[in-house]
A and B are shown apart, each in its own frame.
Chain A
Amino acid sequence: MIKTDICIIGAGPVGLFTVFEAGLLKMRCHLIDALPQIGGQLSEIYPQKPIYDIPGYPEIKAQELVDNLMDQIKPFDPTFTLGERVEDLEQQADGSYIVKTSDGTQVHCQVVAIAGGLGCFEPRKPEIERLEDFEGKGVAYMVKNPETYRDKKVILAGGGDSALDWTIYLADIAEKVTLIHRGDTFRGAPDSAEKVFDLAKEGKINLILQSNISSISGNGHLKNVSVLGKDKESRDLEADYLIPLFGLSPKLGPIANWGLNIDKNAIEVNTFDYSTNVERIYAIGDINTYPGKLKLILCGFHEAALMCQSAFKYVYPDQKLSFKYTTVYGVNSF
Chain B
Amino acid sequence: MTETIPRLRLEHVSKAFPGVQAVNDVSLEVYGGEILALVGENGAGKSTLMNLINGVVPLDSGKIYLDGQPVTIDSPRRALELGITMIHQELALIPQLTVGQNIFLGREPRRWRFWIDWKRLYAQAQAELDRLGIEVPVQARVADLSIAQRQLVEIAKALSYHARLIALDEPTSALTERETETLFRLVRALRDQGVALIYISHRLEEVFELADRIAVMRDGQLVAVGPVQAFTPAEVVRLMVGRELTEFFPKVPTQRGEPVLRAVNLRAGREVQGVSLELYRGEIVGLAGLVGAGRTNLARLLFGADRPEAGEIWMDGQRVEIRSPRDAIRLGIGLVPEDRKSQGLFLGQSVRFNAGAGLLERLSRLGFIDFRRINQVVKTIIERLRVRTPSLNQRVRNLSGGNQQKVVISRWLTLNPKVLILDEPTRGVDVGAKAEIHALMSELAAQGMAILMISSELPEILGVSDRILVMREGRLVAEFSREEATQDLIMQAATGQLERRVAA
Q: Do A and B bind each other?
A: no
**Partner-A contacts on B (CB < 8 A):** none
Please give the residue numbers on chain A whose beta carbons come within 8 Å of chain B beta carbons, in ascending order: none
